[in-house]
Structure formats: C-alpha cells, structure tokens
Structure 1
C-alpha cells in the first residue's frame, strides 16, 4: 500500500507539471510569470476557477483570491521570489520530457505532493513585480528579508502574521540548470526548518520577471516595411519610451522608436534615437491637452546644426461617421538654425483616441507617410526614417495602450493567397460542371440479338 500511495503521489506531481507545460504552450504572451502557492500539511486552499487557456491572471484577480485564501491558510507566509522565472524553466528542467530523476525541482515536487496546491501559469508581469506589496497589504505587516541559514535563529509567533521574503538568484545560459537546482535545495532547507519547528506556513514561489521573453524578429533596414506586433515592448536594450508629463505630473504623451534617422542634402545619416532615449534631448516647448498634443525634442550640435528641434503635432478630433474620437498626426516639423521643414502626415497616420499608433516604418521615402508641405519647400532637402515607431498623445494611463498599426490588413501575400484560392475554386467548379454534363447512351447493341438498325434518310 505505501508503494501504491508513493506511485499515486508521483503521478499527481507529474500531472501538475504536465498541466503547467500545456499552459506554457497555449500562453504565448510575453509579460507573464508563473506562480505556485501551497500550504503545509493539514491545511487547504480555497478553490479557484482555473484560468482559461491563454488567460493572463491580473493582479486584481490574484489579490482577490489571496484575500480569501489567507482566511483559511497559515499566516506565516514564505515568499520565494526568484529574479527571473518562466514556464520554460519547469518544462526544460522539471523532468517533463524525460526521467523524473533528471528534475531539478525535487524538493518543490515533494512539497506539492504533500499539500494542496494552486498554480497560476500566467500571472501578469506587473502583478509579479508588486506581489510583495500585495502580500504586505493583505497581511498588514512588512516583509522580512531572511537568509535561509539564519532562519533557524528566528522565533516565529504563529499567532501573529509574518511575511518572510527569500530572494533567489537566476541567470540565463548554461548555468541556469545548476542555479535552479541550488534554489530548489534552498526551498527544501527552508521548509525543513519550519517543519522541525512545527510552524505551519503558506509558501509562494514566483519570479520578478520572465526569464524567457519572445523577441520580435523585425528588420531595421532602409526601405523595408511590414506588419509587426501591435504593441511595441521595451526592446532588448531596455530603453524606456519618452514621456512628457502634464501639469498634474502624469504622462500625457509617449514616444518610442528603434531608430530616428535624419539625412540632410544627401549627407550622412544621423540616428537621433540614442540622444532621445538616454535623456540628452530636452522636451522644452511640449504641450498637451484634451484636443492637441505637441511633443518637442530639442537637440544640440546635430548634423552640423547648433540646434535642432523634432516636433510631432497631433490633434484629437470627433468624427460623426464613426461616432468616436480619433487621433491624427497632422505634422512633423524640423526646426534647424532658424529654418523650418514641415512634413504633413498622410491619412494613414491615425488611430482611435484611446489607442496608440504603431508603424514599422514612417518615412519620406518609398510609400511615404510623411509628405513635404510644399514641393519647393526646404523639407524636400531632408530624408526622414523612423523604424518601429510608436506614439500616443491622448488618454495615456500608464504604458502604451493597444496600438493601431499602419500596415493594411490585405497585404500582397494575402492578396496572392486569395487570388490563388479563387483560381482553384474556379477550376474545381468548372471540372464539376463538365462532369455533370456527361451523358450515357440510352441504347446498347446486344451481341446475341439482331443488330440495331439505324434508318437513314436519303
């Protein structure tokens, strides 16, 4: 019987990790981390509606569940907070693909077998960053960072709530597997110490941010435009977007781009992105309200000009036909040493007012979205190229809102597929029509009887 129980526990743990693996395949979102919550033996967690495939659990939903969970579970909370954690760590090193002996989460699996467990395969990254604050608010006590080796010296009062924070490191590369094994040993040592002291606990294992983030494979060359994801994340270099604050100190204009290239009179190309996102460019002259947004980027000693201003002018207008407000990029202006170059935005630079605008390429070259106001204007001497460009001038509530992309839905590839499909349908229809027109003879010659006589009129 003990062997049967042991096999049943192993099968249960294996099933849990298979569920985690399946969720990892279904959840292809980037801003998410897994969260595992369990209690010591003898305690249970309240039921939680399982997240649907692809759902990212918000911080509010997790906080609501935590409020009910802490009413029945122990108030001594162990928060194992790893620097980075993703579902791929469990699927790659949790023994899902091969022998369970290869798993680096031996102690974690044992703890899950002996307790009730709640798994959130996809917790919103922003919620993961504030998970420590959520626990502090629910328990009403500050978090106490402890070193596992010193945990045995603490005298814990189980009658009072306590939040013990154990930080776990993480690194990518070949060392990640061994580091995860050491983190699992740390978890096992902490649980062993509390069990030796007969202290009931509620344990949580999660990460501050994902350890595996899918990056967009986008080309950043001149003259290439295409469709990309509709909300540009922080890129690998980690540069945040430019944010201009209103009089209340809240962001009202956001700008992000991978490249902001300018060329004057067929000279050298200069990329303003580095100066823009490292804080060298000032925002003096920028303005925003409910109907107008104007972002001014000021540079010094660029392209042999003492001063250069790059200005984005947007307007928020109500269109009765669609019965909603739309944000339109009216102009992009270059002021350089007392001269002005004005580019009018085409009809493709627009978005619903509550969204942001995103485009893989905004340029004055092929398929231009920026057009010189006058053909004889000084703007014709400039070449402008913005790649992976995203801007929002209205209804900013935090990071970029969902983006309206400039790429049309019916791309050349889609048109080719539709025309090919129509051609195949036509050929199939014609073939069926020909088959339906076939007719068999209504009379046949009987070899045993008299031959058929067909009279002929002379």
Structure 2
C-alpha cells in the first residue's frame, strides 16, 4: 500500500510539473502556407514536436522573419480577463490582429519556445531584439526574441499585460515597417495564472467597532512621505493608500502638489491632493493639541465625498515631540462604514522639529493582551506553588509513640 501511494504521489507531481509547460500561443502575420492550417486544430493540445512541424510547414516557402515575444508566465485567464468597462488586457494586440490576414490561437502548447528554437537547424538565425536593428533587418530567415520584463511590486497583473501589449505593438510595427514579411508569436515560458503580484484580499477587524478592513494590494516597502513646505506636519505611509467608496476601490499613490497647512488656535489642518483615475481627491488631516501637551488626529475630510468626515478606528495621538506609528492597517471610516480610507505602516507627527520624526508611540503597547495573559497565568501558578510549598513545610513528625508494654497513652481534652 505504501509503495502504491508513493507512485501515485510521483504521478501527481509529474502531472503538475508537465502542466506548467503547456502555455497559450498567439500567432499572427502574413499568410505564408495555407495548407498547414488544416493539419492542426486551434482547440487541440499540441506537443513541442507537433507545434514545430506546424511552424516548419508555415515558413517553408518564403522563410519569413519571426519575432517571438516571451512572457515568464502566461495563461488562458490572461486573454479572457476583462475589466468593468469590458476592456481586455490586450486592446492594441487585438486591433493589430484583426488587421492581419492570418491569426491563429493555440490554447495549450508544450514548450513553444523550444519548438521555435528548433528552427535553427532549418537555417534560421537567432538574435535578441535591439531598437537599432530594425533598419538593417534581413528580408528573411531570422528569429528575433523579445523577453518581456517582470513587474515590480506595485504593478498588478492587468496593468503589466497592458504595458506589454503596448510594447508588443510598438516593436512589431517598427519591425514590420522595414520587413513586411514577418510573423509575430506571443507566448510564455510557464503557465501560472495565480501570480504573486495579483491583488488579494486580507480581512482584519478593528477592536473598538469590529470594522472589516479590506486591503487589495500588498503594501510596498517604499513609503509615501507627505510634508508641507513649512515642515510643520510629517506623514509617512506605505503605498498604496486604499480609498473605498461603497463597492468602488481606488489606489491613492501619488500627489499633485506639495501639501499645505492651515493653522488655527491649537489645531493644524494638512491638505493633500491625491491623483486617481484622472481625478484629484483632496484629503484634509485635522490635528488638535491639548493643554496637557498632547496632540491627536481627530478626523480627516475627503472633499471628493462632499466634505464627508472620516474618523479613525483607533485612537491616534501622542505627546508633543513624539510621533505615532502603527504597522497594522489604520482605517478612517464614516458612520455607516461606506466610505473608508486605509493606510498601512502609518506614521504621523504634527509640530515636528528638524523635519524628522521624534520618538514613536506604537499602536501596539509594550504590554499587549497576550503578555498580560501570560503574566496572569504565571502569577496564578506561582501562588499555587508557593501555597503547596508552605503546606509541605508545615508537616511535623510525631513526638509521642505507643508502647505495647507500657502504660496506655491518654490524651487529655486540653491537649
């Protein structure tokens, strides 16, 4: 039974590894050999040799140039994805393909890169794309590879594919201008539609009001620093800031102008203009000072929501000269929890000195609930152990013994 399970496990691993080698392929360009189209179905799963034989039949007559665009990861979900406006990830590539006389999509091909590489033995030369090579491109017989770059930590999968769509369109149009006899191939090295940079959802509950906090993008290590020209208020927060209005969610990562400050008696208001989707949202942070030498962030106002007041889910404040820091998600919400602003790795200080943060007061106290619980349990166990030791030490040995030959021991009631 154990040997059988072992072989089943190996079969599962082999199947999973093999499945990653099957990726979609989009092929477009001048119709070179029509007889090859009838031998291969666009809905079939092709092996490396089958796809190589198809390519060989397609290019055997005129030997067109081939430009190969390679993603590290590509899947069918990338081609079927659409946003709320019913726009896909490849608008330019779709328009370019519609104008071509020959377009074919293979949903599952094993190692297409290796299949294209095999054309070297049929007389094709191999080279990497450079912008200056377009004007000196030969008329036939060359394969040009374009490796599409991986995203940075702030770029989502749809934005990445759209940037690659623009890059593919520009490169192909540039090459086609000097070499009309050219075929384009778009594929990937591996099939992996679950990508590390795809947005995800994380749920937390803030203790005072049990509000649900949704984070749609992993926070970046690069902070967004906000400071007015007079260096009165300093805010640092990880990008992006999440602004949610009902079911709509926006990422606020860039500002349009330097933040400004408005002062009144014992209060400071920091005005920040954020950009999102060709719009500008003005966010005002209101700070109050107390006679005891403390400050607090009372609320914020978002002008985009007609002066909607958003209050923090946690009490934000510190003594003057100190900053407030929280590595957890800090949420500002209206009374109905419909409009929210979420910040990660949030640090703030009004009335700053020397344009830098002072010592920080963290939102998680030094003695957290877990530490207090542990100390309480230790105290109870210590008390029980001390009581047990005292009881053991209070045990005394007998000072009188009964002798069978002697007088019977009589214990008076007074004893």
Q: TM-score, normalised by structure 2?
A: 0.42
Structure with greater Cα Rg: 2
More strand by share: 2
The normalised TM-score by structure 1 is 0.38
